[in-house]
Amino acid sequence: MTLVDFAVEKKYTTIAAVFAVVLLGLAALITLNIQLNPDTEPVVVSIQTQYSGVSASDIAEQINEPLEEELGSIEGVESISSDAMEGVSLVSVEFDYDKDINTAAVDVQNVVSKIRNELPQDIEEPQIQKFSKSDRPILTLAVTGPRSDTELRTLADNQLKNRLQLIRGVASVDVYGGKEREIQINVDRNALAAYNIPISLITKRLDEENINFPGGRLTTNEQEYLLRTVGEYENLEEIKNLIISSTLQGKIYLKDLAAVKDNFAEIRSKFRVEGQETVALNILKQQDANTVQVVDNAKETISELENEYQDLNFKITEDQSEFVKLAINNMASTLFIGIILTIIVIFLFLENWRSTLAVSISIPTTFVLTLALMKGFDLSLNTVTMTGLILSIGMLVDNSIVVIENVTRHFEELGKPAFKAAVEGTNEMILAVIAGTTTSMIVLVPVMFIGGFVQQMFRPLSMTLLFAWTGSVISSFTIVPLVLSLVLKAEEDKRSLKIFTVFKKIAALFTKLLDSSREYYLKLLEKSLNNRAIVITIAVVILIVTLSLIPLIGSEMTPVMDSGQSYISIETEAGSSLAKTEEVAKKVEKIAADVPELLIYSTQLGFEPGASTQATTGANGVQQAFMSLTYEDRNSRKRSIWEIQDGLRSEIAKVPGIKAYVVEEAGATSVSTTQAPLVIRLSGKDPKILYDFAEGLAEQIKKVPGAVNINLRWALDSPEYHLKINRERAAELGLSTKEISQQISASVDGMDAKEEFNLAGQDDLNILVKYKDEQMFHKNDLENLIIVSSEGKSLALRELAEIKVIEGPNLISRENMQYTLDILGFSKDRALSKVNKDIKAVINQYQLPTGYTAQVTGQQDDMNDALTRLAVALVFSVAFIYLLLVSQFKSLIHPITIMISLPLELVGVVAALVLTNTYLSMPAMMGLILLSGIAVNDAIHLIDFVIEAEKGGKETKAAILEGARLRFRPILMTTFSTLAGMTPLALELAIGTEQYSPLAKVVMGGLFSSTMLLLIFVPVIYSLFEDLKRKIYN
């Protein structure tokens, strides 16, 4: 008993099984994770180290270089990059995709622990983070209320941040805005001079006393006690009464030398929502966490906080999950439209509502089975898997159509009862259905094993299609014959159904048109068989013309997507203060506020020390401003996001005081670790030489058509004072270079005590030791700064050091042990490949010194790698198809005849890309691979019928005409049902479909051309091969 026999004979068991599958699928639909894209994030572990007051150059030399050397020994490392900024080191390690993120983090931690003693001792402990420095917050929460700026910041730092960090999947929470509480020791310079005490001694004594220290274990006969020395300060009075020194005249207390105040720290960042200052919390997720789940959990926590702090207002200003949900819901609508269009096409061809009903039932059943399998294999609902479901609509009914056609023939032409016709008609087609489906499925196998970003992106698509096609085979052997056995009736019974009269009239007209088309086709085919040389010549000419059009098609990684959200990054002139940056940002805010499609905008000014995210241009600092703009969704506005951004760029360019700016849509790059679509990387030994060449090269690249927003990632324009200490003179005073540096730091910015202070209401308060405001030194006073030794000797700084003013780097970047400087940019109105081609020509005109290189990287590298891998996958797919056909037809020649349909598909593919101005991209290449498996199916069925007719005694020509007559209608039906299912995706009807519409366009164009042409060319080639074979045998 076959599966078909069982399904039809045990109809109640089959119906029960179908309902069970439906329930499983619905349960899977409810519990499936929702994401925008599959888990394509590179495995990146970052090391962040703070070293307050130290220059970028020193951090690169003392922290980054030692870490880079050791990290390279970890297994699976793909690349190591680092950024050094004033006071902060960021080192990122990228691993192979198959490396577990948690294992990678442990490996990195082990290396850091191993070389910790080789790093400067006074750095803060390096923090290991499982996310990339290029990651953006998935949610930003603004907090306002009737509390002071200090109270709001304190609450955010201690309560709100801690609560949000407890959420599963949250990597870090950065707090911006408000005023950060700080204990300030305002030292009187005159008092220090009177007592001959250096300011560094105050910092030293604070650290020595503000500590709890274990004292060991005390054991008696009956009990054991732990000993702890408790010395941490509990209040300001203890700090004031700290003994700094003892002399013959008595003890010198801190209160004798300084005023101790509970104050707020220097403001290094602000956060504004629609022009109003607020405190904000940026939430970043762990690399392997689900955006929607993390945001949903965060919103639950925020609801709890709203109940606890009813006097405060909590407002979400940025929420990445909203677009994810919008895109998935819109794609679900596209899926539904595709199903309706497919069913209409099938009804037009079948002219029978009963047969159409069988297909209509099989489609949703197949989908719920697919969802259940997706859940079982831990796939998520995302734009890629949803694309797979949309693509499968038309293709999964192909098997049902093949079965219905044969069952109908048994029922109407052979006069068998419905039950017998359903069973025997389906059983006849089991091998044909399995063979055709296997051909479609086998082309996806190479894609699942080609590695890299491409595999991560398209493996879920391949698996979704495999599940759908598997479900379609099962449905065509169970649901379709069962429904047909129950609903097939004599023709007179069908006429009694008045409700379908209108539809049947339309179908009848369509059938009449189809019949006349078939007669015309058969006449054309007969003429073609009699004039094979002309037909083959025409085919060759068409292919030559097609190939000549390929250079007109540009290429890109993936199409851009209108996400409804823009990011604006601004870098003000070197040396600008936070106030100056805010002044500039307000002007940009005014420009943004005038955008009619805008819903909400927020602005981050400056960066907090140790911030988890990285500035787009330059180093994290007060010269940076970052804006997030959220618009109405794409379907609710007249202008696209790119038109809006063009307007923003033209207006921002007029704002004075901006050194560099970037306007980009969210998700502007496919690979998150790629900084921008255009990246030209200069590498070499000396940052100064890199910068000199980069400036000139950037000016030339700005002239390339389509290249916009060209800027340097870092610049040598940050003013620095370089102090060269006279070691002999310092030794006479008993001073080391470090001690002199500490006194200078305390005089200019103040000096942080290493040990933090816990005061009621807040933990880990920073303690800043500095001179009184009126005694702080400024740049004009620097050479007159008095340096005091521990013995009370003093000298002006100008007598101890040579002072120079130079321009240094605000950031130093390195990649794989080389200094690098990236020229970043975006492409506009031109294919990325063509823009990069012109940029390469510009680079070739530049003469770089020996040991220095300039190359186009960024998305160009990503794109070259992706398209190369997909091209390799395509070659293997074609080879697999041939081997499968050899096995099926037991011939080496017939598979070649069938595979003639593959070059014919190029005609439609190229035409579709050129006519729709679509670039060759990853989705387009994936469409070509998918098409290679689909296009041959019609040729397989056609040639199979011809061979069977020849076995029945007909001559080749008669057999071809007979096979063409019988397969004309089914071929068109399967083709147009597939085209109908993909139409909504190709037309980009839903938000989120832009990135994968090239896939549908390629399949539709290629399938249409290959179908129209194979009806003529495949029979012609088949007859030619048959004649050659007979001549050879004779």
- Model confidence at 661: pLDDT above 70: yes
Contact 918, 988 (CB under 8 A): no
pLDDT for 492 equals 45
Spatial neighbors of 896 by CB under 8 A, at least 6 apart, are 882, 1025
- Model confidence at 100: pLDDT above 50: yes
**pLDDT band (50, 70, 90) for residue 196:** confident
Helix (H) and strand (E) counts for the chain?
34, 31
**pLDDT band (50, 70, 90) for residue 496:** very low
DSSP 126: P
**For residue 812, how far is the Cα from the chain centroid?**
26
Contact 134, 614 (CB under 8 A): yes
- Model confidence at 672: pLDDT above 80: no
**pLDDT band (50, 70, 90) for residue 992:** confident
**pLDDT band (50, 70, 90) for residue 96:** confident
Of 985, 980, 989, nearest to 999 by C-alpha is 985
539 sits in the region (left: phi over 0; alpha: psi -120 to 50; else beta) called alpha
Contact 439, 884 (CB under 8 A): yes
Exposed / middle / buried, residue 959 (Cβ in 10 Å: 0-12, 13-18, 19+): buried
DSSP 227: E
Where does 258-319 have alpha helices with state H? Answer: 291-308
Three-state SS at 364: helix
Contact 1004, 912 (CB under 8 A): yes
**pLDDT band (50, 70, 90) for residue 613:** low
Contact 701, 836 (CB under 8 A): no
Average pLDDT over residues 190-201: 81
- Model confidence at 618: pLDDT above 60: no
Q: What is the spatial distance between Cα 321 and Cα 301, in angstroms, rounded to a whole number?
A: 16
What residues are paired with 455 via a beta bridge? none
Burial 617-638 (b: 16+ CB within 10 A, else e): bbbbbbbbbbbbbbbebbeebe
Calculate the alpha carbon distances from 387 to 463, 981, 987 in Å: 12, 11, 13
- Model confidence at 164: pLDDT above 50: yes
Q: Which residue has the tokens 């051909």?
A: 439
Contact 133, 607 (CB under 8 A): no
For residue 231, the tally of other CB atoms under 10 A from its CB is 13
pLDDT, tens only, 954-991: 888 999 998 889 888 888 888 898 899 899 999 988 78
Q: Which residue has the tokens 């255009």?
A: 678
Average pLDDT over residues 794-802: 83
Domains of the chain: 35-132 (3.30.70.1430), 181-264+719-808 (3.30.2090.10), 351-496 (1.20.1640.10), 499-561+861-1034 (1.20.1640.10), 565-666 (3.30.70.1430)
Strand ranges in 324-447 using DSSP code E only, listed in sequence order: none
Spatial neighbors of 712 by CB under 8 A, at least 6 apart, are 617, 660, 691, 694, 695, 698, 821, 822, 823, 824
Strand ranges in 791-872 using DSSP code E only, listed in sequence order: 794-796, 801-808, 811-815, 818-827, 853-856
CA angle 76-79-81, nearest 5°?
A: 140
Of 967, 965, 959, nearest to 519 by C-alpha is 965
For residue 143, the tally of other CB atoms under 10 A from its CB is 25
Contact 42, 97 (CB under 8 A): yes
Q: Going by DSSP bridges, is the β-strand pair 818-827/678-684 parallel, antiparallel, or unpaired?
A: antiparallel
Average pLDDT over residues 100-113: 92
Average pLDDT over residues 646-650: 90
* Mean per-residue pLDDT over the chain, rounded: 85
- Phi, psi of 246, rounded to the nearest 5 degrees: -120, 130
pLDDT for 237 equals 87
Q: What is the spatial distance between Cα 104 and Cα 109, in angstroms, rounded to a whole number?
A: 9
CA angle 241-245-250, nearest 5°?
A: 85
**For residue 507, how far is the Cα from the chain centroid?**
46
Of 198, 205, 183, nearest to 253 by C-alpha is 205
Could you give the angle at which helices 479-487 and 383-408 cross, rounded to 10 degrees?
40
Spatial neighbors of 467 by CB under 8 A, at least 6 apart, are 369, 370, 373, 374, 377
**For residue 706, how far is the Cα from the chain centroid?**
23
Three-state SS at 496: coil
For residue 682, the tally of other CB atoms under 10 A from its CB is 25
Of 380, 390, 376, 282, nearest to 330 by C-alpha is 390
pLDDT, tens only, 284-331: 888 778 889 999 999 999 999 999 999 999 999 989 888 888 888 888
- This prediction's pTM: 0.81
**pLDDT band (50, 70, 90) for residue 738:** confident
pLDDT for 494 equals 45
- Model confidence at 829: pLDDT above 90: no
pLDDT, tens only, 395-446: 778 888 888 888 888 888 788 888 888 898 889 888 878 888 888 899 999 9
What the block records as the tokens of 599 is 């819903």
pLDDT for 723 equals 83
The rounded percent of the chain whose pLDDT value lies above 70 is 94
For residue 361, the tally of other CB atoms under 10 A from its CB is 17
Calculate the alpha carbon distances from 1006 to 539, 582, 901, 907, 910 in Å: 15, 54, 10, 7, 8
